[in-house]
Structure 1
Amino acid sequence: MTKDEVAVAIAFVVKIDDQDLGAFNTCDGLGCEVVVEQREEGGNNGHVWQLPTRMKFSNVKLSRPITAESTKLMRWFSGMANGITRKTATIEARTLEGTVIARWGLLDVIPVKWSGPQLNPDSPKVAVETLELAHHGFFGPGSGG
């Protein structure tokens, strides 16, 4: 990767453990937050203590038009019917040429929701599916770019 390359949101390739779920065109929710508890100390009027308590990780939402790759996602999601086990996931931001610009590793991933397309003959829109994943944090040296 050269210094001139920018993480343009072209395609996000998703793998759960080593199972390839294909490319998505939107990825939303990669983030974390430190939960802070405020404590006031008697006799100290200069500030309120900001005490970090835990990390919260937002759910990741991935969307794409329905394609032949959609069967990979449905096969993986359907496999959860017999019991959900937490997996690891990687999300790679790639250019049109396939160059990996950034990579995020997610720990203890579980599927939260799959939304299929709205099929309406009166509305000629692209059929889109959305996958929502919950996780317990990021891993790996390449996490975050």
Structure 2
Amino acid sequence: MARVDPYKNYRFLMEIDGIVQAGFSECSGFGSEVEIVEYREGGDDATVRKLRGKASYPDISLKWGITDSRELYDWHLAAVNGKVERKNGSIILLDDTGQEKVR
């Protein structure tokens, strides 16, 4: 049965250290890019080898969030004040019934 609640549009959950901290209605920025490095071996000008270079990842953007906890804001405020604490996190996509679809 589909959920009947006012928060149905918040289909992305942010989980930090195993605890769901907030819900968001929009999430973007997933992906990766791998740099290609061209390499010529000594004396062989005709052949160019392409090697895998550095991987880069775009910033993830979460929009239109809602939460009932100050923990996420307090973590952000501590980082702004120079007390950076790394944490593990996941973004969870919910389906129309509110069940986890992708993590």
TM-score (norm 2): 0.71
Q: Tell which structure's C-alpha radius of gyration is larger.
A: 2
State the superposition RMSD in angstroms.
2.5
Unaligned runs of 5+ in 2: 1-8
Q: Secondary structure of the residue that 2:96 maps to in structure 1?
A: coil
For the structure 1 residues 27 and 70, does the alpha-carbon distance in structure 2 shift closer, same or farther, using more than 3 Å as the test?
Answer: farther
Q: Any stretches of 5+ residues in structure 1 without a counterpart?
A: 1-8, 104-145
CA apart distance, 1:71: 4.3
Matched residue of 1:87: which SS?
coil
Contact map agreement 1:21 1:73 (CA 8 A) in 2: yes
AA aligned to 2:35 is V
TM-score normalized with structure 1 length: 0.53
Q: Secondary structure at the match of 1:79?
A: helix
Q: Which residue of 1 aligns with 2:59?
A: 59
- Identity over aligned pairs, percent: 24
* Number of aligned positions between the proteins: 93
| Cα pair distance change 1:26/1:100, threshold 3 Å | same
Alignment pair present for 1:17 and 2:17: yes
Letter in 1 for 2:102: A
**Structure with the larger RCO, 1 or 2 (CA within 8 Å, 6+ apart):** 2
